[in-house]
Amino acid sequence: MAASETLIDAESAAARIFRGATRIQHVSTDNRGLAYGDGLFETMRGAGGVLPWWERHWQRLQRGAGRLQLPLPPEALARSEAEQLLSGGDGVVKLLLTRGSGGRGYMPPPHAEPVWILSRHPLPPPTTTPVTVRWCRTRLSLQPALAGIKHCNRLEQVLARAEVGSGEAGGDGAAREGLMRSTDGDVVCATAANVLVLHGDRWSTPLVDRCGVEGTMRAWLLEQIPVQQRRLAVEDVETADALVLVNAVRGILQVGRLGDRSWAPHPALLALRRTLASAHPAFSLPPSGPGPMELS
């Protein structure tokens, strides 16, 4: 993994742009993704030149495209080009799908040709430190029409992530992720991860029917273990026996600290991560320990 990582330079991340099935050189200045965030995206972890969870990501993209009435690129082409970007190595591939150009103002064109971008990015640096998180002041608004899908209207996440900062300062400033509540006060997610809590032997995770994203790692977990989807209050998080962040790039991360509350590594987590490691090669556990804890 280390060897291939050196090939992936964030400063020169490979990117390819397409309109429909045709490779093009530039994104037009009237692209609707740029103008209105009129698009969807997927961020996929690749291993050894392949994207093991392509189907999960593509299915979510399809659901989002159905909701927004966005045209999709040809799947076989998108997958082949995405995996080519990995050059046989590990890394993260982002697929950004926009409605392309056209239309009159907000009105989408009746026959849009999708413009889509593939880009390769380095894996986040591994860390063995449990994650420190904090509560964000920025709330998520309630919008069932956009909930669950991974659309490109992400200013709420940008504002929330800016509150968290770089994680370099001490105290609460050491936080590297932020927990977000809805405008109604219920806990929804971290800025770039879904959240699970454990009480005794009962797992729960917030519903994503009014806001939040239906993460692919969250979906995988719901297939592996019994997890109740419900509204989660701040107290449900703060009284949990374990608090976990999950996403498709970082895998399964335990939270070590939230304000005054701290958590020791929980055995249930190690079991989950072993299951994940056997299901997805990118998350295989190194022989020396319980596997990397990564957070970008």
Binding site for its own copies (CB under 8 A): 13, 15, 17, 26-27, 29-38, 41, 68-69, 96, 98, 104-108, 110, 117, 119, 138-139, 141-143, 145-146, 151-162, 164-166, 183, 191-192, 296
* Nearest to 181, CA basis, from 237, 97, 243, 131: 237
Q: Is the CB of 16 or the CB of 266 nearer to its own copies?
A: 16
Least spacing, CB of residue 167 vs its own copies, in Å: 9
Rounded to whole angstroms, how far apart are CA atoms 206 and 48? 33
Q: Is the CB of 143 or the CB of 228 nearer to its own copies?
A: 143
Q: Is the CB of 36 or the CB of 290 nearer to its own copies?
A: 36
| Structural tokens at position 179 | 């927990």
Q: How far is CA 94 from CA 43, 45, 73, 207, 293, in A?
A: 4, 9, 15, 25, 21
- Helix crossing, 216-224 with 267-279: angle to 10°? 110
Transcribe 252-282 into DSSP letters: EEEEEEETTEE----HHHHHHHHHHHHH-GG
Least spacing, CB of residue 154 vs its own copies, in Å: 4
Least spacing, CB of residue 264 vs its own copies, in Å: 28
Least spacing, CB of residue 178 vs its own copies, in Å: 10
CB atoms within 10 A of CB 184: 13
**What's the chain's Rg over C-alpha atoms?**
19
Q: Is the CB of 49 or the CB of 165 nearer to its own copies?
A: 165
Least spacing, CB of residue 38 vs its own copies, in Å: 5
3-class DSSP assignment, residue 118: strand
Least spacing, CB of residue 37 vs its own copies, in Å: 3
Rounded to whole angstroms, how far apart are CA atoms 38 and 77? 22
Rounded to whole angstroms, how far apart are CA atoms 9 and 49? 16
Q: Is the CB of 143 or the CB of 229 nearer to its own copies?
A: 143
Q: Is the CB of 8 or the CB of 277 nearer to its own copies?
A: 8
Q: Is the CB of 163 or the CB of 236 nearer to its own copies?
A: 163
Q: Which residues pair with 252 in a beta bridge?
A: 246
Least spacing, CB of residue 2 vs its own copies, in Å: 20
Q: Which residues pair with 97 in a beta bridge?
A: 40, 116
